[in-house]
Structure 1
Amino acid sequence: MKLRKELWFGFSIMAMVLVAIAWLLLGVETVTHGHQGLLMLSLVVVAIMLGFPTAFTLMGMGMIFTWLAYDGNTTRTLDLMVQAAYKSMANDVLIAVPLFVFMGYLVERANLIEKLFKSMHLAMARVPGSLAVATLVTCTIFATATGIVGAVVTLMGLLALPAMLRAGYSTPMAAGAITAGGCLGILLPPSVLLILYGATAGVSVVQLYAGAFFPGLMLAGLYIGYVILMAKLKPKWAPPLSAAERVVELPPLTRALPAETHQYAPSGLLNALKGQRNAGVPTGYVLRQLGLVVLPGLLFVLLAVTSYRAVTTVEAEAVYDIQPIGFDSGPAERPEGGLAEPPSQGGLQEPPSAEGGLQEPPGALSEPPGAEAAPPEAAPQASAPSAAEPAAAAATSRPAPTWWWVGFAVLAISIVLFYALLSFARFEIFKMLLGSFFPLVVLILAVLGSIVFGLTTPTEAAALGALGGFLLAAAYKRLNMGMVKESVYLTAKTSAMVCWLFVGSAIFSAAFALLGGQELIEKWVLSMNLTKFEFMVLSQIVIFLLGWPLEWTEIIVIFMPIFIPLLDHFGVDPLFFGLLVALNLQTAFLSPPVAMSAFYLKGVAPPHVTLNQIFLGMIPFMGIQILAIVLLYIWPEIGLWLPQLLYAR
């Protein structure tokens, strides 16, 4: 029987692992517990590639090798397993996982993605490669709202792939855009990957979310730039939309104003208020349309005013009216016979002594000289705090930072262009975006903003997101008992997988540490005398290669506990390392033979779309991911600027 190339590839990797195991066991004189730990690690990789469930493979291997390490002591083995499992179950961070997953399934079933893709496709009709660009933008927004890779790829495969193929797009280009865009959900918050990495590495999930925001947008921007460039260089790969496909139909009441698609909307609506040719159009309809026209400007003004106050106001420190011990507040306020400072000309001095040394005063304890009346020199010191009070009161504001001016300058230019080019056709597209794009943006900002700005914990924000998903589904009339039951079932299934995986990882890590495998790997790595740069390159190459046969969940729970203890030695920030890993693990969904996004897309693609065509379309986007990793390493501020700004790390 002739095997497919993907099977040959997988069997070749397993053969290499088995050869490495044989070399390890035959190349050493004495097989220590550390070698048994490396053997356990290798066997876990082989078992997972053979299709065994990851979580139970980790638990099983961990228990077997722990039993061997304890020389067959079953009681101690079970004690270690129970302790490792309880430690995982007591991790509060993992509570956010089912809530975020539930939010994602609710948003997915609210049927927003179809409306979002259609409005994005019309809004970007004149951009080269508009359908692929709209696909990537839709995937980015939807991935941020759901974080579920399989759902995004499947839905976009049903919506965008047929549309792109009908428009004459190259099959690899269309497939690559869908699979790459769908994978952004494992990087952009609220990412389950970041929650698991934070729980594994002991890094704040809040800071990981803040740090992953700009790298995720950068990667999405690089994808969009590549599509636009290839649409310019290779028009046959992504032909422009025809004029018929760019037509926007106006509602009957808008046509009755009368109005044309190219006509300037604000002036047309104002003229309709005093016109007589639109007698059949209710005045309330025209006023509602005008309200939608001025809505972006009002929101811009409101956001500018509130944010300007937020960034320029300095919170006054709390002042408590408590008299510190040993401080003089003036002779009028000191009680008679109370404790007073000795006379001093600037610092704490010893009381005068005849011999020049420190002596006890003769007789009973008495006040030092100067307690009865403050010296003239002490008066300015007593009045100094009151003189500084106006200066402290005046320092209640500060200049707005540069990033605020730059951000709002860009936003103001966008608002001006919006009003300058607002024809009736664009106004209808804006209304479509208002019904599909902005509800998701509000949900995303409410969830992520509350986390990033410290208003809520990730778990509380996840609960807020789940409530937002309920409200969105109800607003779009998709909320029913069947939809809720299906979302709950899928959430329970996904959460059980993640939590069992984390328990299995804890048991495996405990067994690996008991056997000394971690210590053996550390000694081997440190013996290579690597620089920080060489260590970072080596670790990212290993993670990149692991992404071929393994999924990101297995890489996080199995191999991150091996890398993380080495970070202190090389002076690597665990937060920065986590961002690099999150970017790198995009390859786990785009690299064969375990490229899950390819199989998700193949399951809903037309029969003539082959798996090899999908893999071919993924390759350029994998190259873009490597470029994004290099850019983040060269300019770490891309990922660290926002956490440093918000949390002063």
Structure 2
Amino acid sequence: MIAIWLFLTVCTLLMLGYPVAFTLAGTALAFAAVGILMGGFDPSYLTALPGRLFGTVSNATLIAVPLFILMGVILEKSKVAEELLINMARVFGGLRGGLGISVILVGMLLAASTGIVGATVVTMGLLSLPAMLRSGYHPAVATGTITATGTLGQIIPPSIALVLLGDILSSAYQRAQLSMNIFNPKTVSVGDLFVGALIPGLVLVALYVFYILALAVVRPHWVPASRAEPVNTASLLKGLLPPLALISVVLGSILGGAATPTEAAAVGAVGALVLAFGKREMDWQRLQEVVLSTLRTTCMVFMILIGASVFSLVFRGFGGEELIHAFFADMPGGVMGATLVVMAVIFLLGFILDFIEITFVVVPIVAPILLAMGLDPIWLGIMIAINLQTSFLTPPFGFALFYLRGVAPASVPTAAIYRGVIPFIIIQLLVLVALWIWPSLATWLPETLSQ
């Protein structure tokens, strides 16, 4: 019961707006101190804390996080997205729905570049929303397209969410196998999750494009053609090829086994810096801004990771993991029933917590139990990523909606933003159902490449 009170206390404090990292660690340590005084908590759990924290911050896989963040911030500051959008709009703008398709494709590339939902939504909102409204797009369609496209950073590799999920799921998978007396456990890598996310991510993008094309037929006045502009092939290639080449090198080196995600992230960061200097969009002042922005985001991620490590250790010390295991074991529907409950809880938590907190707090608690019940770790990781992506879109609390509301003009009502995301939420739910019915959508490519 103390473990349950610990979890409920943390959720309450987070909803009241207290800092996530310090709430997790502080609340856990306070409960542990009271438990030690009352004789209900084994102090030996806390003696393992220094080694655990050192192992966390020195994890070679997690070095990819600041490097991917650096890569994304550099590409954002160097106006790569702006050039991509201008050139794509020239190619597709003369078609009904062409500007919307351009936004989806550029957003997909930007998601693959930055991997950060907030950065993608804000950037696309500032760049494309005014152009879409000027072209006569229905406000709901324009805002829904931008918001949904921005959340692709959750699933399109190289996604920071997948990096963090891959590290957590790898540890959970090993613990699950040890609990089943498998003493030579298999591992799941971040690269496996990247490969597994490719097909679901591309299916999502294809369905987004199909929705815009369907609107062009059913509601042509909602997605009118913009004024056609001459396409300069040299300018188009100059704006399109460098970021495409960079993303291809980063992903290709991971998928081909030539580099680990950390090594590929380093190549991506250096490549982005070379592109920025080559475009003459990087000077000393802007480089300082890039480094400080990367530092702030990285510190936030690792402080939450440290706080979550303390929380999960104390939660386990109070018997919380055994309690959840017993709860899942007695649940009707077996492993699928337990998975459905976990997905529902994660979806609801996505209204109040960012993906980082959910990945570090919830996943380490539930993943070992679900994996021990026979789930595939890659399938589970992709399901969680798309589930959170859907949660971040869902009114009235979706994070992506707030990001866009912050940069959208006052003439665009909040109700239009809410209405605009509904079709995209339905699309994402359909993809989740398809993954549930056909898990091979996520597992086939990793299994094929590993042979």
TM-score of the pair, normalised by structure 1 = 0.64
Distance, in Å, in 2 between the alignment partners of 1:469 and 1:168 is 35
Displacement of 1:76 in angstroms is: 5.1
1:116 partner amino acid: L
1:535-558 alpha-carbon deviations (Å, 9 max, x no partner): 333322222222223222222111
Among candidates 105, 127, 138, match of residue 170 of structure 1: 138
State which of 240, 243, 246 in structure 1 corresponds to 2:228.
246
Q: Is 1:137 the counterpart of 2:105 in the alignment?
A: yes
Secondary structure at 2:37 match in 1: coil
Letter of the structure 2 residue corresponding to residue 635 of structure 1: W
| Counterpart selection for 2:260 from 441, 457, 464 | 457
Matched residues in 2 for 1:68 and 1:223: separation? 52
1:596 CA displacement: 2.4
Counterpart CA distance in 2 for 1:589 and 1:529 is 29
Taking the TM superposition and a 5 Å limit, the aligned residue runs for 1:526-545 are: 526-545=329-348
1:40 matched to 2:22: no
One-letter amino acid of the counterpart of residue 196, structure 2: G
Equivalence for 2:58: 90
- The CA distance in 1 between the partners of 2:343 and 2:46, in whole Å, is 35
The one-letter code sitting in structure 1 at the alignment partner of 2:437 is I
Code of the residue aligned with 2:142 in structure 1: it is A
Instruction: Using the TM superposition, name which of 183-192 and 600-609 deviates more.
Output: 600-609
Return the index of the structure with the highest Cα Rg.
1
Query: Which deviations, in whole Å up to 9, do the C-alpha atoms of 1:331-374 show, x marking residues without a partner?
Result: xxxxxxxxxxxxxxxxxxxxxxxxxxxxxxxxxxxxxxxxxxxx
1:227 partnered with 2:212: yes
Provide, for residues 215-271 of structure 1, a one-character-per-residue CA deviation record: whole Å limited to 9, x for no partner: 111111111111211221112221223xxx1031xxxxxxxxxxxxxxxxxxxxxxx
Instruction: Give 1:453-602 correspondences, 5 Å limit.
Output: 453-602=256-405
Contact 2:392 2:398 in 1 (8 A): yes
Work out whether residues 180 and 618 of structure 1, in 8 Å CA contact, stay in contact via their aligned partners in 2: yes
SS of 1:71 mapped into structure 2 = helix
Amino acid in structure 1 at the alignment position of 2:116 = I
Q: Which residue of 2 aligns with 1:205?
A: 190
**Residue among 30, 49, 52 paired with 2:15:** 49
Shift, 1:129, TM fit: 1.0
Alignment partners' CA distance in 1, 2:343 and 2:134:
39
Q: Distance in 2 between matches of 1:225 and 1:539?
A: 31
Q: Distance in 2 between matches of 1:201 and 1:75?
A: 27
Correspondence for 2:173: none
Equivalent of 2:35, from 69, 78, 87?
69
1:537 and 1:76, CA in 2 relative to 1: closer, same or farther beyond 3 A?
Answer: closer
Q: Which residue of 1 aligns with 2:69?
A: 101
1:59 to 11, 15, 25: 25
> C-alpha distance in 1, partners of 2:95/2:319?
57
- Aligned pair in 2 of structure 1 residues 474, 632: CA closer, same or farther (>3 Å)? same
Q: C-alpha distance in 1, partners of 2:294/2:253?
A: 23
Q: Distance in 2 between matches of 1:122 and 1:461?
A: 32
d(CA) in 2 for partners of 1:567, 1:158: 41
Supply the AA of the counterpart residue of 2:36.
Y
SS in 1 for 2:110: helix
Q: Of 194, 208, 214, which aligns to 2:199?
A: 214
The alpha carbon displacement at 1:52 in A equals 0.8
CA contact (8 A) 2:104 2:209 kept: yes
C-alpha change, 1:509 and 1:240, in structure 2 (3 Å) is same
Bigger helix fraction: 2
Whole-angstrom distance in 2 between the partners of 1:164 and 1:112: 19
Equivalent AA in structure 2 for residue 216 of structure 1: G
Letter of the aligned partner of 1:624 in structure 2? I
1:237 aligns with 2:222: yes
CA distance in 2, matches of 1:146, 1:525: 36
SS at match of 2:136: coil
Task: Say which SS state the counterpart of residue 477 (structure 1) adopts.
Answer: coil
Q: How far 1:117 moved relative to its partner?
A: 0.6
Cα offset, 1:501, TM superposition: 0.8
Q: Percent identity?
A: 39
User: How does 1:177-196 map onto structure 2 within 5 Å?
Assistant: 177-196=145-164
CA contact (8 A) 2:339 2:370 kept: no
Q: CA deviation at 1:624?
A: 1.1
Call closer, same or farther: CA 1:586–1:568 in 2, change over 3 Å. closer
Given that 2:335 and 2:370 are in contact with CA atoms closer than 8 Å, whether structure 1 keeps it comes out as no
Q: Which amino acid aligns with 2:111?
A: A
Distance 2:268 2:12 in 1: 39
Alpha-carbon distance in structure 2 between the residues aligned to 1:91 and 1:70: 30
Provide the TM-score with structure 2 as the length reference.
Answer: 0.91
Partners of 1:550 and 1:588 within 8 A in 2: no
Give the Å deviation of 1:448. Answer: 1.0
Instruction: Please name the residue that 2:185 is paired with.
Output: none
Q: Deviations over 1:405-453 (max 9, x none)?
A: xxxxxxxxxxxxxxxxxxxx5xx2x333311121111000111111111
* Cα deviation code 1:283-316 (max 9, x no counterpart): xxxxxxxxxxxxxxxxxxxxxxxxxxxxxxxxxx
TM-aligned CA deviation for residue 82 of structure 1 = 2.4
CA 227–491 in structure 1, closer or farther in 2 if over 3 Å, else same: same
Note if contact 2:396-2:418 (Cα within 8 Å) is conserved in structure 1. Answer: no
Contact 1:66–1:77 (Cα < 8 Å) also in 2? no
- Secondary structure of the residue aligned to 1:70 is helix
| Paired residues for 1:245-644 under 5 Å | 245-248=227-230, 425=231, 428=232, 430-644=233-447
Supply the distance in 1 between the matched residues of 2:407 and 2:258 (Cα, whole angstroms): 41
Q: Are the equivalent residues in 1 in contact too, given 2:111–2:153 (CA < 8 A)?
A: yes
Matched AA of 1:528 = M
Runs (5+) with no aligned partner, structure 1: 1-34, 249-424
What one-letter code is carried by the residue in structure 2 that aligns with 1:54?
Answer: V
What is the count of residue pairs matched by the alignment? 432
Q: CA deviation at 1:133?
A: 1.1
Looking at structure 2, the residues matched to 228 and 581 of structure 1 have their Cα atoms a distance apart, in angstroms, of: 29
Given residue 59 of structure 1, which amino acid in structure 2 is its aligned partner? A
Q: Distance in 2 between matches of 1:460 and 1:446?
A: 11
Deviation at 1:593, TM superposition (A): 4.3
